[in-house]
Structure formats: structure tokens, C-alpha cells
Amino acid sequence: MKTLVINNEFGGGYGDVAITLYALKELINSAATQYIVNLYVRVFEHLELVKALVKLLGLPATVPDFQGYNIDSSLGDIQIRFHIPTNEEHLELTWLDNVDGSSEVLETPCTPRLKDCYKSVIPLLCHKLDVPHIKARCNKALVSRTALFHINEHTNRSSRCVSSQYYVNIINGMHDLGMIDRVYLTVHDENQYVKDMLPKLRPDCVVIKEPLRYVLTLIREELPLVVTHSTGILHLGALLGCRTIELCPPAKPEIETEIWHPPTCDCNHSVFYDKSEIEVLCDVSQLEVSCSH
């Protein structure tokens, strides 16, 4: 039995890891189903996150308790290396055959959208492994009136984010439309703006202060919907099968929205760029009607 090692050498935030794991999920499912191997996934950063996701997704792979720069290239009969990209428009990867000593840099598609890179690369790798591409699936329908909102006050942090009052209006509007009756809130920090929000919100609210593992389990087991700006929680929600809504202010460059939104083309992912709360609620309510038929 051969050993196949998938090296996820991406660093950065949780969103970068989640995007890579979306590709790994499809590759692992294909390889483990049709290709008789010992399957390992090694990571550059966020070891505990990757281990938790592999467990939650039920992927038939082992994640060694090691992370860092010096990954031993001799481990495993075959290696696939997802490299840190030097160009945002390309995904860099290498195929290493440690049995015959050969290596090959696989061509990646020329596209401004990383999600499309992963769509194209996975069939290529499956062809190299001589296995069918088993496409990962995710949920599309809202099965409960529960949502997770990950909030980051834009005046304190980033131009990617909309204001906390914008979230108040969205949450109350979705509640009044009968779309949600329970809300989980996750935050970057326990800042005053979150405490100020709570009395203004009409649905039942729970503020999550637990470690990331609890958030992942919650997304996996209970939540049908994640609403936030472009951040790791958005990508993790998409990876775990949630419908995702991305709220973008006009200060965020539109090209970043195109490049970095979740690579989940077959899931419901909606991007609202520079739209008022009323416009978002109108569009979301129409999406909900279309999904119910």
C-alpha cells in the first residue's frame, strides 16, 4: 500500500486554510475512495483548525502533529504540494513521486478567481492519480430559522466590514420577515459595540466566546446560514455546507470580492456589494422564496 501525502503549505488566516481545504476535501474523498493509500495531510499553519475540520468532515486522512516550514520532502511515495502563491491569480502546486524521484509542476488555470483555480486543479490531480473526481456536496436549503453573524465593527478594524448598526438592521429585518428567530454572534474581540448591539436585537441571541472548535461544531451540526464580511468564518461556513451571505462596504475593492469569495459554486453564496440594508433584505427574501420551491 502506497502513502499519499497532501501538503497544505498555505499560511495566512482561517479563510486561506478553508479555501485550500475545500479543494483537499474533494481530493481526499476521491483518492481515499478509489486509490488504496495511507493518506496524510500536513499543514503549514493552523494545525488544530485543520485537524478539527478533517474530523468534522469525516475525511479518511491523518493529520500529523507537525507544522512549519521544514516539511521533509522524502515522506510518502507520492506528494502533492499546495504552495504559498506568489501570484493571487494562480494556485501553485507540485507533484512529487518519491519512488522514481520525479517531480512535476502542474499547470494552473489563468483566472482572477481562486475558487475557479481549485475547480480546475482537482480534476487535474484526480487524473494524475487515475481516480474519478468525486465532487464534494453541501447543503442548500435553510432547514431552521437560525443564523450565525460574525461581526467586526468597521470603525475599529477593517474597511472590509460594514457597521454594527448595519448588522442590527439586517438581523432585525430578517427576524421581521420570519427568516430567523435565533441568532449566534461571534466577534473578534469583546468590544463595547457588541454589548451595545444586544438590546437592539429582536431575535434570541447567543454570543459565542468559546474556542474555534465550538464554532466549527455549531456550523457543522446546527447552522444553515452564516452572514458576515469577507473573513475566515465566511469561508469555514461555506466549507461546512452552510449558505453564506457576504456583506461588502463600498470601501472594499470589488476585485477582492471576486477573488476571495468562497469556492463553493454549487452552494448558495450571495455577495452584497455596497447595498443598503433594505436592498439586501429584499434580495435575501427572494432567494429564500426560490429555495423553498
Question: Residues 46-58: pLDDT tens digits?
Answer: 888 888 888 888 8
Note every long-range contact of 161-170, with CB atoms under 8 Å and residues 24 or more positions apart, other chains counting.
161/229, 161/249, 162/229, 162/247, 162/248, 162/249, 164/193, 164/194, 164/196, 164/197, 166/247, 166/277, 167/197, 167/247, 168/197, 168/200, 168/201, 169/277, 170/227, 170/247, 170/277, 170/280, 170/281
Pairing of strands 146-151, 225-228: parallel
- Asked if residue 131 lies in contact with residue 161, where contact means CB atoms within 8 angstroms, the answer is no
More confident residue, 226 or 267: 226
Distance CA 170, CA 279 (A): 10
- Asked if residue 10 lies in contact with residue 235, where contact means CB atoms within 8 angstroms, the answer is no
**Crossing angle between the packed helical segments 232-239 and 212-221, to the nearest 10 degrees:** 40
pLDDT at 289: 46
Q: What does the DSSP assignment read for 211-269?
A: -HHHHHHHHHHT-SEEEESSSHHHHHHHHTT-EEEEEE-TTS-HHHHHHHS-S-TTS-E
Most confident of 30-34, 59-63, 238-242: 59-63
Q: Cell numbers at residue 164, please?
A: 454594527
- Asked if residue 228 lies in contact with residue 128, where contact means CB atoms within 8 angstroms, the answer is no
Specify the range with the lowest mean pLDDT, choosing from 212-216, 250-254, 269-273.
250-254
Distance CA 128, CA 80 (A): 11
Residue 293 has pLDDT above 50, yes or no: no
Residue 105: exposed, middle, or buried by beta-carbon count in 10 A (0-12, 13-18, 19+)?
A: exposed
pLDDT at 57: 82
Strand locations in 113-196, DSSP E? Answer: 146-151, 182-187
Q: What are the residues whose beta carbons fall under 8 Å from the beta carbon of 237, sequence distance 6 or more?
A: 148, 219, 223, 226, 244, 262
Give the three-state DSSP class for 272: strand
Pairing of strands 93-97, 102-106: antiparallel
Average pLDDT value for residue range 250-269: 63
Residue 108 has pLDDT above 80, yes or no: no
pLDDT at 172: 96
- Asked if residue 213 lies in contact with residue 240, where contact means CB atoms within 8 angstroms, the answer is no
Distance CA 166, CA 277 (A): 7
**Whether pTM exceeds 0.75:** yes
Tens-digit pLDDT profile for residues 143-197: 678 999 988 775 545 567 888 889 999 999 999 999 999 999 987 666 677 788 8
Specify the range with the lowest mean pLDDT, choosing from 76-85, 123-132, 264-273.
264-273
Tens-digit pLDDT profile for residues 77-99: 888 887 766 666 666 788 889 88
Which of 208, 186, 213 lies closest to 52 in space, CA to CA? Answer: 213
